Structure 1
């Protein structure tokens, strides 16, 4: 009996040691996933925002409150801003954060597990923007293969009769302003890097078509979406356009122009055309800028009941104006307008916690057209979509604008 008791005691003791070790390992893992960054108010706003996001989302795939790795445009947008921050600061933690996302979503053979090719969803192209630098710095073929897959999607993506990319396979015959940002900077970069710029005309065509179909001559703005078939309930039966101007969709479009232009050489015949579109849009947006420097959710309807000064569109315009002016695409006065917009964000919509975390408020969480439940594009629809603090559609452009403005 004594021997049995001794064996029992030893087994129990061994089990306790194993559990203690396991708990210790868990604690170490937990600690490494929850780094407490010092977010000093002496840092630039770009770093203060980036460190806030890294503290809230220790793994980059957790951005937008995701629990599992997912290939998505919001991650691509935010991590593109981190890439610009890494270029500026040379702080490797920003590079590692980007690479961590890519490695969580792309396997060793270049397969993106959560990406469904057959959906032909234009949104899925956007995150490919982070892969160019990763491939250049690592020479790991998995990043190249993932880019090649996204490029293949564009080759086979369904199009309107004139050659405009559908927004998604389940939204047939529709072009949305959002889609220009989701596809064109990647497409322009890819064709410049790997195809000697052979398809830059096709990139430019996407802008030409959306200008032709969604531009409103009275305001100089562009409608959120256009349905070639005119079958959607939200579509104007004569023009096919959706009924309202939504600031974030215009922000997507403005950013698409300044980012795609990076890859159009000065002698390219379509470059001046794209710069003209940007100037036309910037002039129209400047007329709608609120005295605070911000823009309303429904761009042209001011303080109509329910309308509100919205963060993501305002941050996108600040970025597009600043980069446009810095690159010489826009007159220098737009740098002043961008700074005014950034001031408005800081003064009206940004809160800073006691720990130094930066919180952007009044950001529309999501908005679209059609689908289930049905989104009719009405004024009431846009103003009643939910808002979310530090929505990635606001934080990414905020970082980009802060970098362009050196704020």
Structure 2
């Protein structure tokens, strides 16, 4: 299977060139020339590698993930370079790796580190509606990104250690986001909400930002499906609501799926306005979320084709090889609201952020989507007939794929 072998090589390339001090996939740190710290980007990548170990049984993935997280987690459960008083939901994301690592390798410090991160959430400031602030530097703000960063960790901690004490609190936050941030006309969610209505980027009446940014939409989709997966049968009514939110969001996304590549655009609902472009990370997130939704029975089997089309389109469009090095392109490096004047949430703003290669915000979701194709193959009891049939070789390293790079003014 051509694409699978390419991805196996690509993952190995990233592992071989990465350490906790200098991961090859954290392009923000590399560009800034900063020391690596505990961060959500690494959390995405390590979580994907742990799941890759679980489905393949390849010990090297678990060993790498364990060594990586072990570097940051101290024996007393404190975490190097982590400051809970920043109240940064992004910093919760890497905590998701601790649950599986603790189960798999049993280090007591991983269990203690879960408590360290949970203590942040216990005192995390909240909006008047009861939802966590995204960060202390973003007061009174809900970002879709933060729902993915924090809610699955929060739900899993409550289930594992608190006898479900605050599971309903996590569910409530999803309800608030659905009620406040969803556009009822197209079913999409706005990137952010300011409960104070004071931020320059928000509508003074609704508090909402102006546009539908693909990766944020994807983070929310993953928050929904990952949290749904964790919720116990005793929360059947709440699970039904989360299921409906997820199903409705996927249905809202499908009309905007690019017919040729199966991908989605950086600003979802404006595909024909230049210089909007097909963005890899958000497309990979939806590929993963859709296929996972099918596997878990949240979506019907017919939806698998939409996730698979996105996965195949990314492999065909965004994977390439130069001088023996594989690269994944068309990844929006970062996008946010406020903090600096240019981050006002307009279409032009989302077009202005750098487009890069090999950042884990794009790599990790593609690995997760790859894992979902493997789950699908196993459930089908055979190789997926949708997979490319070519064999990788020196003469044909892409095994029948024709790799290329989406033409875009920001690609490097």
Query: 1:195 — aligned with what?
Result: 162
Query: 1:133 — aligned with what?
Result: 100
Query: 1:57 — aligned with what?
Result: 18
Paired residue secondary structure (1:370): coil
TM-score (norm 2): 0.86
When structure 1 is superposed on structure 2, of 198-207 and 165-174 the one drifting more is: 198-207
Could you say if the C-alpha distance between residues 204 and 60 of structure 1 is closer, same or farther in structure 2, counting changes exceeding 3 Å? farther
Within 2, Cα distance between the matches of 1:276 and 1:123? 26
In angstroms, what is the RMSD of aligned CA positions?
1.7
Give the one of 15, 21, 46 matched to 1:79: 46
Could you say if the C-alpha distance between residues 208 and 390 of structure 1 is closer, same or farther in structure 2, counting changes exceeding 3 Å? same
Paired residue secondary structure (2:337): coil
Could you say if the C-alpha distance between residues 258 and 45 of structure 1 is closer, same or farther in structure 2, counting changes exceeding 3 Å? farther
Is contact 2:21–2:35 with CA below 8 Å preserved after alignment? no
Q: CA deviation at 1:177?
A: 0.3
Paired residue secondary structure (2:205): coil
Query: 1:296 — aligned with what?
Result: 265
- CA offsets, 1:363-391, max 9 Å, x none? 10000000125410000000111011011
- For 1:200-215, list aligned pairs within 5 A: 200-215=167-182
- For 1:90-101, list aligned pairs within 5 A: 90-101=57-68
Q: Where do 5+ consecutive residues of structure 1 fail to align?
A: 1-39
Could you say if the C-alpha distance between residues 101 and 60 of structure 1 is closer, same or farther in structure 2, counting changes exceeding 3 Å? farther
Within 1, Cα distance between the matches of 2:3 and 2:245? 38
Which structure carries more helix by proportion? 1
Give the one of 345, 352, 366 matched to 1:377: 345
Give the one of 240, 248, 251 matched to 1:280: 248
Q: CA deviation at 1:44?
A: 4.3
Within 2, Cα distance between the matches of 1:85 and 1:51? 12
Query: 1:320 — aligned with what?
Result: 289
Within 2, Cα distance between the matches of 1:80 and 1:105? 15
Within 1, Cα distance between the matches of 2:158 and 2:118? 9
Is contact 1:221–1:285 with CA below 8 Å preserved after alignment? yes
Is contact 2:319–2:329 with CA below 8 Å preserved after alignment? yes
Q: CA deviation at 1:46?
A: 4.7
Give the one of 133, 144, 153 matched to 2:111: 144
TM-score (norm 1): 0.87
Q: CA deviation at 1:196?
A: 2.3
Give the one of 301, 312, 315 matched to 1:332: 301
Q: Give aligned pairs, total.
A: 367
Within 1, Cα distance between the matches of 2:265 and 2:4? 29
User: Does 1:398 find its partner at 2:360?
Assistant: no
Paired residue secondary structure (2:142): strand
Paired residue secondary structure (1:352): strand
Could you say if the C-alpha distance between residues 45 and 130 of structure 1 is closer, same or farther in structure 2, counting changes exceeding 3 Å? farther
Is contact 1:120–1:153 with CA below 8 Å preserved after alignment? yes
Paired residue secondary structure (1:298): coil
Within 2, Cα distance between the matches of 1:402 and 1:48? 13
Is contact 1:60–1:98 with CA below 8 Å preserved after alignment? no
User: Does 1:153 find its partner at 2:155?
Assistant: no
Query: 1:388 — aligned with what?
Result: 356
Paired residue secondary structure (1:309): coil
